[in-house]
Structure 1
Amino acid sequence: MRCLYYCRNLFLFFLWTIVDARWPSPFDVRIDHHKVETSHDLVINTARPQFSWKISVLDNLLQRNVQQIAYQIQLQSIKITQQDEKFEWDSERIISSQSIHVPYTGQYDLLPSKYYSFRVRVWIKNLEEPSEWTDWIQFRTPIFNLHEYVTKNADLLWIGSTKINMNELRKEFLIPNASPIKSAIAYISGLGYYEFYLNGNKIDPSRKLDPGWTTYEKRTLIVSFDLSANITAGMNAVGVKLGNGWYSQEQQHGESKYGPPRLIFILTVTFENGGTMQVFSDQTWTGREGSIKHDSVYNGEICDSRNDRSNWSRVGFNDSLSAWIMPEPMPSPANISRNGLIVLQDMPPIRAGSDALHFEVITDSQQQGYLNSEDIGDMKGAKLTDGGTLKPIVMWDSDSGVKTFDLGQNMVGWCRIRFHGPSGFGVYMRHGEVLTQPVISTKQSARNIYTENLREATASDTYVLRGDPVYEIYEPTFTVHGFRYLSIFAPPNALTMDDVECPFVHSETTLKGHFSTSNPIVNQIQHNIQWGQLSNMMSLPTDCPQRNERRGWMGDAALSVDEALYNFDLIKFYHNFLDLIIDVQRDDGEVPDFVPGNSYPPDPNWGTALPTITWQVYRHYNDVHTLEVYYNHVVAYVEYFHSVYKSTGLANFPVKYGDWVPPPPQPMTNTHLITSFAFLHDIYLLINMSQVLGKQEDTNTYTILYQKLAEEFHQVFFSTSSNFYADGMQAAQVLALALPGVVPTNVRAAVINQLVNDINQKGIHVTTGIVSTAQIYPILSDNGHHDLALELISSTTYPSYGYMFTNSYENATTIWELWNAPLTGPGMNSRNHIMYGSVGAWFYSHLAGIDVSSNMITIRPRMASETKKHLMLKLDCQLSTLYGLIHVSYTRDERDTMANSVLLHVTIPPNARARVIFEPLFIGGQCKTLIEGRKIIWSSDVNKQNVEGFEIEKDSTTGLMTVHIGSGQYEFQALWQ
């Protein structure tokens, strides 16, 4: 039957090629890394953008080796006024297979404040006709030099008040009817946060906590909106709510450089006849204190809804109950004298609910894979596909008058709550990750929410009802909470679960990775990682979302970036974070431990975020431009620690945190070894960057330095009498093995044995902190101990990932900060930390075996031996790349239970090539037969090679079998003997 299916599709494909038909147009088009499909107002902040697209394939046809041989891009300006000159650029037919990061090569730069549109088509190998064109895709350019525009315009003011809590500002303005309106572009920044209203309507309702948090004196972000469809001739009204956000002395522990909220606003209206008018933030606006009496990221919000004014942002509003007064001119947050900048926010915003997460992979049903729902098992927590808004799964009365709701999932956001009660009735709400700590002897909890681990953050909201006759809904505006449980104290009405819903809030992104197996422990860890990663994406990567911290700790960001980029589309997000790092990089190359922040000098395993994130973004997106932009900053950073090294050597290399929080009672290994690892790691990355960029002199210089340091590392930290590094702990062996060229060949086996023996002596448990945990799983898999790595990840006893959701006290739906969270004190004990989520990269890179770090995709699943295959009998993984979807799925012994075999389904996207590597299923195993689509393509009896377009290689030393393939869907069976 399968043969008939293949033949039928090949016949249909042949028919399609001889009729007068066009190949489908490219899809998932991107410009300057922005996804066109998910960007409603496409603002491209460069005069020379790059384009990417994916090649379509015909529906229901099994096509292979689909290759682009040429492309054509057409770009044109859109005339807004009669005076505008039409601009057109046509690349014409470019003979090239390039479909990612294709540069705009027009003679002239794109102009600022203009509308453009473009379209793309491609030519496919063996087809004469080009594909269909994409639709024309519209975008606009902003004011390119916003900083200069803002600082040189004397009529434009930052406005606010030092006298009152002026958190609502409004202005009415007249647009003459002399000529039709062609465009209306606004620029706005409200610090710390703002919400923007026009003629009574909130602009972009799901957009929250805007603009992104920065070191404001160095970089203040401003956001642009196209209001062309919202503005009308005649009177209009604009309203802005302001929140404290991170721009407050309360949030910044009293730093005087931050202060009251402030607003800057620019509106430029262009008419068809070429005329323009502008509305600026100035002292013609009026402001007051609105219904939000206090707001704080850490401490929540106090809202008295009796102060709401329903029509406050509409024309003709007249308030007889409030005093609207003239705002004061306020100083710019950007320190002009110290090169502070006001720049466009060029990354997706924070959003709430369904608009926050898009999907490029299928997560609920398995297409052409081998897993089914029974294989995957039940999962604790909510699904990312549930629509972005969580409902309680259970509720109860905790204490007298306290109603507690369990959302079933540790999340980040807030709750919309429906109240009904008299005007002036006050309600108090608190949020917590877990319930009160159980009594150890009984393991029972009082089922009150536990808030001690929030430290000084109250994570509470207070709402005063206005007394609407039916009901009213409260939803916080300028705060965010990390929580699973919500307690409402003495509500005015008998609340039900239907009265509460809680939007999940994070930086807008796209889910690009899906990973599931027949191992339920691994599946739950993957669930917890994805929810934890999203929870800690709040315009920058944070460490935790609940207590009085939530900072951009660079150690956490460096450890999680590889995992994050496998799971989510985050190139703009990480570009912004790299900008935040270099904003505060000192002249000597030094960076702090977290940004925004001034915690100088960094621990080397925290400062590594600069080189590590730069390199990982390049690896995952093959984007050389990222290396070009940040390369000199990476060099400066490495040279900073090089200068430190000259006075300390590796033996005394500086330490602040080391291999943070190993599982008690385990001690931390030699801390100088840990930081020396980071130093060598970063030099090695720099060597790789210099090679990509063709900087041969740097390559030579840092290669010599690395070789010298590699020898010193071994000499300083290796014990010749014991044949292991430092004190013999797991972390020391792992970090030495993770550095190329450090462990000499003659002692490598001894070091690996020391690591393996220690893991076994600890009952197959890790003793590693966050730095070495990120390395231990790939080290084991790459050095002949993949079975042990699978046993480690499958453990449910302390300390392990599985213990986090199978212990007697609480069941985690995100990743803990501490291995023993329920049994330790509250001071530093987050239940939603991403630093240990680093293991998620190993899921994709080793368990599924996907490597996209070069033009040739590598598929090399590491599989358990025959004796341990029960740990992972089946696997299914999808990864959406810039070329399209990679799908890897395998099952063991599916067709012939008597044979040592594996069935492997692989999908390679069009315009890509791959090598599929099969590993022996047992030590000394030799491949007997390779089958694809039920046809033998290689046999040890015949030793066939290059059969039917397959290029096959056998490594006689390792037993590895490599098959080179083009795009398309394949089903292989490998039999071993």
Structure 2
Amino acid sequence: MYLFFLWSTIDARWASPFDVRIDHHKVDITDDLVINTARPRFSWKISGLNNLLYRNVQQVAYQLQLQSIPITERDNRFEWDSERVNSSQSTHVSYTGQSDLLSSKYYRFRVRVWITKLEESSEWTNWIRFRTPIFNLHEYIIRNDNLLWIGSTKINMNELRKEFLVPSDSPLKSAIAYISGLGYYEFYLNGFKVDSSRKLDPGWTTYEKRTLLVSFDVSTNVTTGMNAVGVKLGNGWYSQEQHGEFGYGPPRLIFILFILFENGDEMQIFSDQTWTGREGSIKHDSVYNGEMCDSRNDRSNWSRAGFNDSLSAWIMPESMPSPINISRNGLIVLQDMPPIRAGSDALHLEVEIDSQHQSYLNSEDIGKIKGASLTDGGILKPVAMWQSDSGIRTFDLGQNMVGWCRIRFHGPSGFGVYIRHGEILTQPVVSTNHSARNIYTENLRDATASDTYVLRGDLINEIYEPTFTVHGFRYLSIFGAPNALTLDDVECPFVHSETTVKGHFSTSNPIINQIQHNIQWGQLSNIMSLPTDCPQRNERRGWMGDAALSVDEALYNFDLIKFYQNFLNLIVDVQLDDGEVPNYVPGNSYPADPNWGTALPTITWQVYRHYNDMHTLEAYYDHVVAYVEYLCGVYNLTGLANFTVTYGDWVPPPPQPMTNKHLIASFAFLHDVYLLINMSQVLEKQSDTNTYLVLYQQLAEEFHRVFFSTSKSFYADGMQAAQVLALALPEVVPANVREAVVNQLVNDIKQNNIHLTTGIVSTAQLYPVLSDNGHHDLALELISSTTYPSYGYMFTNPYENATTIWELWNAPLAGPGMNSRNHIMYGSVGAWFYSHLAGIDVSSNMITIRPRMASEAKKYLLSKLDCQLSTLYGLIHISYTRDEHDTISNSILLHITVPTNTQARIILEPLLIGGRCKTLIEGHNIIWSSDIGNRYVEGFDIEKDSITGFMTVYIGSGQYEFQAIWQ
């Protein structure tokens, strides 16, 4: 009999918790853990038991202990000891202490678990230290008359400093700083930058409604005696030049430093008019237009105590108005999401992107990926350099990216260098086929995306790296460099909001692999404290349509719950009293097109679905209701036939027209009502469920009545978009016409030579609709296309090879006005990779794994697949190979890893039309055979669907190797 458990050999230490999270913060990658809630929640994974011998391992109990720091003489005294709690819950476990955690305190906690079949517990985790901020931060600031926003309206005061004396009467216990510099700041203490990889802080918000403050533990940076704090300021988005908002700018700073001594004494340093300021080496900075830096104005010791500057005038700053508008309920709040970082600190890995997890995929299967790897440490080096006819040196990074470059110069003082950035190169002149290979910048529109640097004239090489700007580019040209630059003189950090890669997807189809690469790089390029549309031109806004379309894909690939919760806060900050939201945030582009406004309900739902975090639903539910009620008000005036619309199914591939715009807008309305029904059911709001079910049924009937042509048996004009959107909505297409609508969609795709005609809204639904309606082969053919218009065309066309996702299907042939090469809105297809090609659904307690299978005739399109998805429980790993054994036809070898403390159902589809499973093998044991029918095998519960032929296997945690043979 097959051995499932060797419990006698299990050491309880193997089951110890790891990847512990508190309030969604990953403790193992956060040095200064600040928990901005008095009632945090905890999650952990259980290690060491996912192998062939240890299966169906479940947690049966846990214990959490929490102490305040410093520990008193009674070290066994806890603020909270849950004691043993008999529960399998290992995610979102609530702190249930008798009293709330206190403001401005240090704590530590640990956790241990008990698992099935073991008498003893696991070992405790190490103590995990965290601190709480000032919980009533906003009230503290507005009530403190000694605390000022400081800056200058007279000069470009972008460097401020203050010295202060720390007495030596008692040892220093802690030093906590709070800082916000608008638009951006960099924080220095005693000559060193605090948190060197942190960039472009704080996050961009509607500043008058929400201004973010950042907290740092600087206990090890402050010493007894004289100390000095220095702050650099940048314009960022708090600038009329950049943002166009009246009343924004010039830069300003607020700063608080709390010092606590062992004897209980306290000391406070505030931003006030005892500081001094000047214009530093940065003469101008702009997100769009880059930076002008004269390094002759650098002062190397400016943030050290005792600094004396004989060459600059440091003057008293002015008291500046607060950015928040109290009359509009403006708040100063702690920045509770990961910061923007540069280089290796910006990206962490929870999946292994190497050959170990792709042993059955050789290099011929995968194909050579164009572009850089996410595992290269976040620093890109040029892959090529050339000198144009005019002497300009141009560098190719081989990857469209976001950030800036560190460039090593050597030359005389006062020598000026000009640096420009671009995504692509100019096309050859048709008449001569000659190209100077200069960078193309017209698609940047009014953004100059350039940096100017004036050398200090160091005897040894000096390195220039911009401070308060960011560029989207693949190529950079350097004009007038004083030295002959080489490839080694340039390196460029990849810059984005800090996150963790939690999804990896690779197949035997090189087209799909390149698309996945382009999606991941494009998504990272567009998480810059909020989800942006593009990173290079004079836009880079939080367009809600782009965010809604890409959120599902983004949450499969990256750990972004705090990032999206922040974005939801930005949306509700500007939601009007009637529930209306704008097209982008920050911004006032009211009213939103329904497919843009859907970001509020869609992101709320997707965050819940990916993290099973009911608190997210609770926090934003009323706002979603208000938005849907706003749409209802519009609907009552227009009906679906004339429902409000602005953008529709944006940018379908030329020369294709856009389908009926009112149908497209109506899709979003029904979609949002349906999501609201789901939310109300989860939150057990039965009255709301009943209300919106009635509404949805009414809308579904009207949608079909208004947009369906009974004489032609298709929706609207018969185009792909109209059929896709109707089919994507539950219960809209009646059963008696569904086949006709599906056939209309399929035939149109075939009549267009297996090409899509869809814009951004319907493309997001196209591939799932095909797979779910019996045409998965066609979906695979469509995604594998390399001719126009297709994803594959983006990197196989004769003009340029994309390493991110284009904004336009015909980018090389379109004009420069709206033509980004790094847009994420069409990256929506990435969700289908995980949800259908790998077949992972984690939206319930039972993990579902149902890889969609190509027919035998089309299996060459996807014969091998490897997918990893890191969840809050642990790693889900799926890999399959079709017909691995030459002697067996119509078979699949499927490797599955199910995380500890979970269960899964594996759904195996027939490999041929009308096929039936002949034999199902796990390991070396037959667990089901058509000859003997279903039989009991320990550890497996097997069901056969007599109509579809699907085989469903219910399993517990562990690693499995299934082989299914079909006939």
Q: TM-score, normalised by structure 1?
A: 0.98
Match of 1:823 among 807, 813, 821: 813
Q: Is structure 2 residue 150 aligned with structure 1 residue 159?
A: yes
> Aligned letter for 2:575?
Q
> Aligned letter for 1:249?
Q
Match of 1:121 among 84, 109, 112: 112
Q: Is structure 2 residue 675 aligned with structure 1 residue 664?
A: no
Q: Is structure 2 residue 895 aligned with structure 1 residue 905?
A: yes
- Please give the secondary structure, in 1, of the residue aligned with 2:243: coil
Which residue does the alignment assign to 1:62? 53
> Aligned letter for 1:336?
I
Q: Which runs of 4+ in 1 moved over 4 A?
A: 58-61, 80-87, 440-444
Which residue does the alignment assign to 1:951? 941
Match of 1:45 among 33, 36, 51: 36
Mapped to 2, the partners of 1:538 and 1:551 lie a distance apart of 10
Identity, % of aligned positions: 83
Instruction: Please report how far the alpha carbon of residue 489 of structure 1 lies from its aligned counterpart in structure 2 after TM superposition.
Output: 0.4
Match of 2:548 among 542, 558, 563: 558
Distance 1:972 1:81, change over 3 A: closer
Which residue does the alignment assign to 2:596? 606
Which residue does the alignment assign to 2:578? 588
Distance 1:201 1:80, change over 3 A: farther
Mapped to 1, the partners of 2:173 and 2:670 lie a distance apart of 57
Match of 1:744 among 726, 731, 734: 734
Between the two proteins, the alignment pairs up a number of residues equal to 967
> Aligned letter for 1:890?
Y
Mapped to 2, the partners of 1:506 and 1:443 lie a distance apart of 38
Q: Map Cα deviations across residues 537-573 of structure 1 (whole Å, 9 max, x no partner).
A: 0000000000000000000000000000000000000
Mapped to 2, the partners of 1:115 and 1:199 lie a distance apart of 24
Q: Map Cα deviations across residues 292-314 of structure 1 (whole Å, 9 max, x no partner).
A: 00000000000000000000000
- Please give the secondary structure, in 1, of the residue aligned with 2:117: coil
Instruction: Please report how far the alpha carbon of residue 82 of structure 1 lies from its aligned counterpart in structure 2 after TM superposition.
Output: 11
Q: Is structure 2 residue 720 aligned with structure 1 residue 730?
A: yes
> Aligned letter for 2:753?
G
Mapped to 1, the partners of 2:694 and 2:49 lie a distance apart of 52
Q: Map Cα deviations across residues 352-392 of structure 1 (whole Å, 9 max, x no partner).
A: 00000000001122337532233111010000000100000
- Please give the secondary structure, in 1, of the residue aligned with 2:357: coil
Distance 1:641 1:496, change over 3 A: same
Contact 2:63–2:81 (Cα < 8 Å) also in 1: yes
Contact 1:72–1:91 (Cα < 8 Å) also in 2: yes
Mapped to 1, the partners of 2:359 and 2:461 lie a distance apart of 49
Contact 1:389–1:504 (Cα < 8 Å) also in 2: yes
> 443-452 or 501-510: which moved more?
443-452
Which residue does the alignment assign to 2:533? 543
> Aligned letter for 2:733?
V
Instruction: Please report how far the alpha carbon of residue 80 of structure 1 lies from its aligned counterpart in structure 2 after TM superposition.
Output: 8.2
Distance 1:403 1:806, change over 3 A: same
Which residue does the alignment assign to 2:711? 721
Mapped to 2, the partners of 1:137 and 1:80 lie a distance apart of 14
Which residue does the alignment assign to 1:793? 783
Q: Map Cα deviations across residues 651-696 of structure 1 (whole Å, 9 max, x no partner).
A: 0001100000000000000000000000000000000000000000
Match of 1:168 among 156, 159, 164: 159
Match of 1:430 among 420, 424, 428: 420
> Aligned letter for 1:216?
Y
> Aligned letter for 1:651?
A
Mapped to 1, the partners of 2:905 and 2:431 lie a distance apart of 56
Mapped to 1, the partners of 2:431 and 2:820 lie a distance apart of 23
Contact 1:81–1:274 (Cα < 8 Å) also in 2: no
Distance 1:85 1:163, change over 3 A: farther
> Aligned letter for 1:894?
E
Mapped to 1, the partners of 2:95 and 2:881 lie a distance apart of 45
> Aligned letter for 2:202?
P
- Please give the secondary structure, in 2, of the residue aligned with 1:912: strand
> 103-112 or 372-381: which moved more?
372-381
Contact 2:7–2:117 (Cα < 8 Å) also in 1: no
Match of 1:227 among 212, 218, 231: 218
Contact 1:57–1:63 (Cα < 8 Å) also in 2: no
Which residue does the alignment assign to 2:952? 962
Q: Is structure 2 residue 503 aligned with structure 1 residue 518?
A: no
Contact 1:237–1:313 (Cα < 8 Å) also in 2: yes
Which residue does the alignment assign to 2:879? 889
Counting only pairs closer than 5 Å after superposition, residues 671-682 of structure 1 correspond to structure 2 as 671-682=661-672
* Structure 2: segments with no counterpart, 5+ residues: none
Distance 1:53 1:952, change over 3 A: same
Q: TM-score, normalised by structure 2?
A: 0.99
Counting only pairs closer than 5 Å after superposition, residues 793-812 of structure 1 correspond to structure 2 as 793-812=783-802
Contact 1:81–1:273 (Cα < 8 Å) also in 2: no
Root-mean-square deviation (CA, aligned residues, Å) is 1.5
Counting only pairs closer than 5 Å after superposition, residues 2-13 of structure 1 correspond to structure 2 as 13=6
Which residue does the alignment assign to 2:859? 869
Mapped to 2, the partners of 1:647 and 1:726 lie a distance apart of 22
Counting only pairs closer than 5 Å after superposition, residues 20-99 of structure 1 correspond to structure 2 as 22-58=13-49, 62-79=53-70, 88-99=79-90
Contact 1:288–1:324 (Cα < 8 Å) also in 2: yes
Contact 1:931–1:937 (Cα < 8 Å) also in 2: yes
Instruction: Please report how far the alpha carbon of residue 144 of structure 1 lies from its aligned counterpart in structure 2 after TM superposition.
Output: 0.4
Which residue does the alignment assign to 1:483? 473
Q: Is structure 2 residue 638 aligned with structure 1 residue 645?
A: no
Mapped to 1, the partners of 2:505 and 2:653 lie a distance apart of 27
> Aligned letter for 2:194?
I
Q: Map Cα deviations across residues 518-550 of structure 1 (whole Å, 9 max, x no partner).
A: 000000000000000000000000000000000
Q: Map Cα deviations across residues 860-906 of structure 1 (whole Å, 9 max, x no partner).
A: 00011000000011000000000000000000000244421111000
Mapped to 2, the partners of 1:78 and 1:406 lie a distance apart of 52
- Please give the secondary structure, in 2, of the residue aligned with 1:714: helix
Match of 2:567 among 577, 582, 593: 577
* Structure 1: segments with no counterpart, 5+ residues: none
Which residue does the alignment assign to 1:16? 9
Contact 2:79–2:97 (Cα < 8 Å) also in 1: no
Contact 1:83–1:274 (Cα < 8 Å) also in 2: no
- Please give the secondary structure, in 1, of the residue aligned with 2:254: strand
Which residue does the alignment assign to 2:177? 186
Instruction: Please report how far the alpha carbon of residue 764 of structure 1 lies from its aligned counterpart in structure 2 after TM superposition.
Output: 0.2
Mapped to 2, the partners of 1:442 and 1:734 lie a distance apart of 45
Distance 1:789 1:86, change over 3 A: same
Mapped to 1, the partners of 2:335 and 2:389 lie a distance apart of 46
Q: Is structure 2 residue 690 aligned with structure 1 residue 700?
A: yes
> Aligned letter for 1:423?
S
Instruction: Please report how far the alpha carbon of residue 56 of structure 1 lies from its aligned counterpart in structure 2 after TM superposition.
Output: 1.0
Contact 1:25–1:132 (Cα < 8 Å) also in 2: yes
Mapped to 2, the partners of 1:440 and 1:974 lie a distance apart of 56
Contact 2:380–2:492 (Cα < 8 Å) also in 1: yes
Q: Map Cα deviations across residues 755-787 of structure 1 (whole Å, 9 max, x no partner).
A: 000000000000000000000000000000000
Contact 2:15–2:115 (Cα < 8 Å) also in 1: no
Mapped to 2, the partners of 1:153 and 1:582 lie a distance apart of 28
Instruction: Please report how far the alpha carbon of residue 738 of structure 1 lies from its aligned counterpart in structure 2 after TM superposition.
Output: 0.2
Which residue does the alignment assign to 1:145? 136
> 662-671 or 946-955: which moved more?
946-955
Mapped to 2, the partners of 1:417 and 1:62 lie a distance apart of 53
Which residue does the alignment assign to 1:851? 841
Contact 2:358–2:866 (Cα < 8 Å) also in 1: no
Mapped to 2, the partners of 1:82 and 1:279 lie a distance apart of 32
Instruction: Please report how far the alpha carbon of residue 441 of structure 1 lies from its aligned counterpart in structure 2 after TM superposition.
Output: 6.7
> Aligned letter for 2:290?
G
Which residue does the alignment assign to 2:125? 134
Instruction: Please report how far the alpha carbon of residue 256 of structure 1 lies from its aligned counterpart in structure 2 after TM superposition.
Output: 1.9
Q: Is structure 2 residue 320 aligned with structure 1 residue 330?
A: yes
Which residue does the alignment assign to 2:266? 276
Distance 1:270 1:85, change over 3 A: farther
